[in-house]
Amino acid sequence: MSSPRPIPAEEVPVRSKSSNYPEPYASLMNGRVKRKLGDFFQLKNFGVNLTTLAPGSMSALKHQHSRQDEFVYVVSGTPTLVCGSHEYILEPGECVGFKAGEGSAHHLLNRSENTVTYLEIGDRTSGDEVVYPDDDICAKSEADGTWTFTHKDGRPY
């Protein structure tokens, strides 16, 4: 196997779908662009995304993982971290981590007039379930890495 060559992260192709969420949630992710750096380098144990948020967009629905840890590092811009009932304006160079199964549901909002860029890193533990306290949606990761979405009462989307 040959060694990978370093490349600028911005050269990694943009993810073709803006979101895995079903409608009506997928369209809420308009303005979010992900470059799946981990997938580009065929990483298997964890994922790394270079994500940009246009003004007025969000990273994801407010959520919490049962088995997968998450880490966010702000590269540029000033996103607002909504974590439970608290809000924090993050600055470039700041970071935050979310331990699986603990803490509050969270997401980032770009309430500024400038683009936000950040790295999001997470493990790929199978069997993860995601809770979205503000929305009628649940998610579960399957063994093949795909996600299944249902309503909170179990009905499929």
Burial 104-116 (b: 16+ CB within 10 A, else e): ebbbbbbbeeeeb
| 61-78: pLDDT as tens digits | 999 999 999 999 999 999
| pTM for this entry | 0.94
| 85-109: pLDDT as tens digits | 999 999 999 999 999 999 899 999 9
| 15-58: pLDDT as tens digits | 998 899 999 999 999 999 999 999 999 999 999 999 999 999 99
Which CATH code is given to the segment(s) 21-127? 2.60.120.10
Q: What pLDDT sits at residue 1? A: 55
Closest CA to 131 of 68, 67, 58, 63: 63
Closest CA to 51 of 11, 15, 6: 15
